Amino acid sequence: MVRDEALQQAMNDYGHYLTRLSYVFVKDFSRAEDIVQNVFIKFYTGYERFEGRSSVKTYLYKMTVNECHNYLKSWAYRKQELTNTFAHAIHKGSPESHLVTKEGNRELAQTLRKLPTKYREVIWLHYYAELSVIEVAEVLDCSKNTVKTRLVRARKQLGKRLVEEGFDGT
């Protein structure tokens, strides 16, 4: 069946990256697995309706980001984020605080951690998922200009130090 093949192809092409992207957002492997499972099941069950509406890549990333946003709206998670805002001295995790911080990457992880969510997500979608500005705009339901502005501001906030570390900010 076409949709069976489409599901296998989608899992082959994007399964790995969607799982890793979800992990970045929700910092919990099990939750990331749940999210990606939901995305692929919805992709499969809604395949007839999906066809031709947008690229598979954009559609899957949009679904994944939406599922992650839903999870991040939960009270428990938001309380944790609030605590971070008021208590940066308390090292309670934003997503990046639970990423691997090998010696060479510690700087990047720490700097990413300080970025507001709206800037972090454009960084991950544009540089990690390698979505174009137009695709990021589609995924986040905002305009191209908004994405561009957020990217510029995010890069600015990431700062000089990362440039010196070899992350060229481009």
Partner 1 sequence: MEHKHLDELIPEHVTLTDKQRTAIVQKAKNGDLPKQMRTAKMTPIFISAAVISILCFFIFTFLGEIERKETLSDLVEAGIIREIKAEEIPYESKIPSTYITETDELIYVSGSSVFSYEVENKVQRALTDDSTGATSYNIKANANWLVWSNFDNQSLHIMNRQTMAQQVIPDFSFPRVILNDGLASFYNFDDQTFTIMDLETLQMNPVHTVDEMTSTQHFSQDGQLVTMIESYNNGEKRLEFYTHDIQTATVISVATIPFMEAGMWTYENGFIYAEYQAKDGPWKLLRVDLATNEWTILDVPEYSGYAVHGHFLALSGLEDEQSEMALFRMEGDELVKLTTFDAFTDRLVRPRFNEEGMLLVNSEDEAYTMYIVDVNKIDE
Which residues contribute to the site for partner 1 (CB under 8 A)? 4, 7-8, 11, 15-16, 18-20, 23-24, 29, 32-38, 40-42, 44-45, 67, 70-71, 73-76, 78-80, 82-83, 86-87, 90-93, 96, 98-102, 105, 108-109, 112, 123-124, 127-128, 130, 155, 158, 162, 167-170
Least Å from the CB of residue 87 to partner 1: 7
* CB nearer to partner 1: pick between 38 and 146: 38
Query: Are 129 and 21 contacting, i.e. CB atoms less than 8 angstroms apart?
Result: yes
The DSSP 8-state label assigned to residue 99 in this structure reads S
Least Å from the CB of residue 115 to partner 1: 12
Least Å from the CB of residue 93 to partner 1: 7
Count the helix, strand and coil residues of the chain and give each as a percent rounded to the nearest 5.
80, 0, 20
The torsion of the CA quartet 15, 20, 24, 25, rounded to 10 degrees, works out to 10
Give dist(CA 130, CA 123) in Å, integer: 9
